[in-house]
Structure 1
């Protein structure tokens, strides 16, 4: 068990260079299995989930190397098409091997995916997409995908704009016979990044960044070198840290259009920031105050499919709100268990009411107190780390290896901007 020890109240300031997008890197590893040629992925975050996905690719027969944030994957000959249960249980994105394996080998066997416990994550969109393109699926103890012949393009409509279902369908459709039109597709930056990788490999995908994607099937894909885009959730997490601690930060490696909604939410919390061509500047010394809705009503911050506020940013934004004057409601629409971490903030002294599994009301500012905590999931773990940094006294966060699944070199990055955080592999 990994643990973090945090001395709260340390002033922070400086620059942070964000890592490659975790949620783009993971499906790109699966997509590399769509070609026999080498795929070289630069700016890959060195995190536990990336190493786990690379291990699965290697287990399936790919030649894999990973050094200095560059992954090299050559899938000339795959040895099998079953992802063992032990690996599936470690990460949600294990399901993304289904389409590449089915396309390359005619079938795939996977088991229910694991990952963060933040609520039910439907797989219906994955099954709908592969079956609609001509595959068959048997679901019992395992998920058995089969395709007796080449998949066929057609028009599809997702009943929810699922990120991973969109990615699965993209990987299934790029080598299908004919044209696939996918409506109500997810359009998050990491989905677009995956589509751009596939296009660089020779796919023909249009409509990138929109909710309608058109995929013209091709005969084969080829190897490429590609650079993963920056992680907007990591950037947003550091912005929340600066907002909660009152520090001045410059976040480098950003793309302005990825932060338009995030900026609106921080403005609602009374935090001003500047979007630059390749950086975000958060001025220090701000006195945040929650901006009421017209008529003096309590504002509501809700998540939603892109370009709405990302669900992955809700936990960190809640912590920032505890340090802002006024009252705000957070409405987590997408996952029914993400809000539960607020109970841990209450134990630190937060003025918060958990209304139900989807809503919490936060009133600030409050002086949080250091305590012993545990990390329930990646984003809540990062949020508790931020809370500990702006709290008085010392905190310990156990099960912190969960945070390392999503944030590269997080302890070192925080130390470089002045945070007093240390890590102990055996716990404190």
Structure 2
């Protein structure tokens, strides 16, 4: 087991480049299953979740090569249609193999992903959509089994916007017979990135990024050539790092169009945010102003930035109210921030954050990916030394995070416990 040690109190300055987005790369890599041939995807980050995709694609019979940030997948006659529990349990996004396998091979067997640390996130909306497209779905000993001679187009309404469901059905509909319309679809930038990639493969996807996505099915697709978009959540994390340390950081690769709500709230907190060509520059305020936030699907404030922003608000000059409206169990980092001196109380899905003049380093424990980032930010701003255990969560979504922060003047090291 490893832990991260942070010697806090340093103002961060300089330039940092954002890696490719994990949440965009995952569906892109599964989309390679839709077409035979050699697929090439650039700007793929070195993360644990991507390593899981590598294992899963290999298990299904694809040839995989991963050099630096170039991911190549050679897809021929796939020998398996099953995504086994041992792989799916480590990464919920593994369920995204369901649509591509079913669309191309007519069958798929995928382990149910179960719950996770921050909420249940059931896949019933994925299955309901595939059934509307003609799939026969059965549940057998913890596995979803799906069969269809060929999927057909359908009009599908999501009861709530679902990123994974939108992605799964977009991929499945690309090879379906006829036209599929997804209503109340997720609008995240990662959806748009996937649609652009599918269209490069010969698909006909329109409306991605809006609540209505239309996919006209085609008979076959060609190999993928695509560059993964920059990670907007990593970018937002470094932007908050500038604010919480009263620093001055240029985040290279950050796209302001993907970060509207985060930029707005940082400015409200007193930070100076300058949108530049190819990136965003943030100068931290002398004193953080209190800000209220409500997490909602894109283009609202992202739930994946809630924990990081709470660390910033813990140093505010007044009281902030944070409403978590996406996941029901995403305040587990609160207890750890309290150990560092934060004044936070929780009532249901609402956290009341009363700003304090400073945080103090302490031993803390990460509970999930974004909570890990939250504690790093708190440690950067705190006096003395912070030790964060269970940092394996970080490796699921942040590439070389210690190296990047140290390049900005931080003092972070990873050691074995």
Does 1:331 pair with 2:323?
yes
Contact 1:175 1:218 in 2 (8 A): yes
CA drift of 1:401 comes to 1.2
Pick the aligned partner of 2:299 from 307, 315, 324. 307
Coordinate RMSD, CA, aligned: 1.3
In structure 2, what is the equivalent of residue 175 of structure 1? 175
In structure 1, what is the equivalent of residue 352 of structure 2? 361
CA drift of 1:277 comes to 3.0
CA drift of 1:69 comes to 0.5
CA drift of 1:146 comes to 2.5
Cα distance in structure 1, aligned partners of 2:118 and 2:382: 25
Does 1:378 pair with 2:369?
yes
In structure 2, what is the equivalent of residue 341 of structure 1? 333
Cα distance in structure 2, aligned partners of 1:18 and 1:115: 29
CA drift of 1:214 comes to 0.5
In structure 2, what is the equivalent of residue 318 of structure 1? 310
In structure 2, what is the equivalent of residue 61 of structure 1? 61
CA drift of 1:112 comes to 2.2
Cα distance in structure 1, aligned partners of 2:269 and 2:347: 20
Contact 1:91 1:115 in 2 (8 A): no
- Unaligned stretches of 5+ in structure 2? none
CA drift of 1:359 comes to 1.1
In structure 1, what is the equivalent of residue 113 of structure 2? 113
Contact 2:175 2:220 in 1 (8 A): yes
Query: What do the CA deviations read for 1:271-306 (whole angstroms, capped 9, x no partner)?
Result: 231122321011245432226xxxxxxxx3101111
CA drift of 1:54 comes to 1.4
In structure 2, what is the equivalent of residue 100 of structure 1? 100
Alignment partner of 2:267: what SS? helix
CA drift of 1:248 comes to 0.4
In structure 2, what is the equivalent of residue 160 of structure 1? 160
Contact 2:114 2:120 in 1 (8 A): no
Query: What do the CA deviations read for 1:60-84 (whole angstroms, capped 9, x no partner)?
Result: 1000000110100111111101111
Pick the aligned partner of 2:382 from 380, 391, 397. 391
Contact 2:104 2:175 in 1 (8 A): no
Q: List aligned pairs for 1:74-153, cutoff 5 A.
A: 74-113=74-113, 116-153=116-153
Which segment is superposed worse, 371-380 or 114-123?
Answer: 114-123
Contact 1:39 1:225 in 2 (8 A): yes
Cα distance in structure 1, aligned partners of 2:146 and 2:346: 45
Cα distance in structure 2, aligned partners of 1:76 and 1:160: 36
Contact 2:13 2:247 in 1 (8 A): yes
In structure 2, what is the equivalent of residue 297 of structure 1? none
In structure 2, what is the equivalent of residue 11 of structure 1? 11
Contact 2:345 2:353 in 1 (8 A): yes
CA drift of 1:115 comes to 7.6
Alignment partner of 1:102: what SS? helix
Contact 1:152 1:176 in 2 (8 A): yes
The two structures have a TM-score, normalised by structure 1, of 0.95
Alignment partner of 1:77: what SS? coil
The two structures have a TM-score, normalised by structure 2, of 0.97
Q: List aligned pairs for 1:161-240, cutoff 5 A.
A: 161-240=161-240
Query: What do the CA deviations read for 1:87-138 (whole angstroms, capped 9, x no partner)?
Result: 0110010100111111222211111226851011021110111111000111
Contact 1:90 1:114 in 2 (8 A): no
In structure 2, what is the equivalent of residue 294 of structure 1? none
Distance 1:381 1:97, change over 3 A: same
Alignment partner of 1:72: what SS? strand
Cα distance in structure 1, aligned partners of 2:224 and 2:27: 15
Distance 1:385 1:116, change over 3 A: farther
Query: What do the CA deviations read for 1:163-206 (whole angstroms, capped 9, x no partner)?
Result: 00000100110000000011100010111111111011110000
Query: What do the CA deviations read for 1:337-393 (whole angstroms, capped 9, x no partner)?
Result: 11121111111100111122x111112143111111111000001101111111111
- Unaligned stretches of 5+ in structure 1? 292-299
Does 1:22 pair with 2:41?
no
Does 1:406 pair with 2:364?
no
Cα distance in structure 2, aligned partners of 1:84 and 1:360: 38
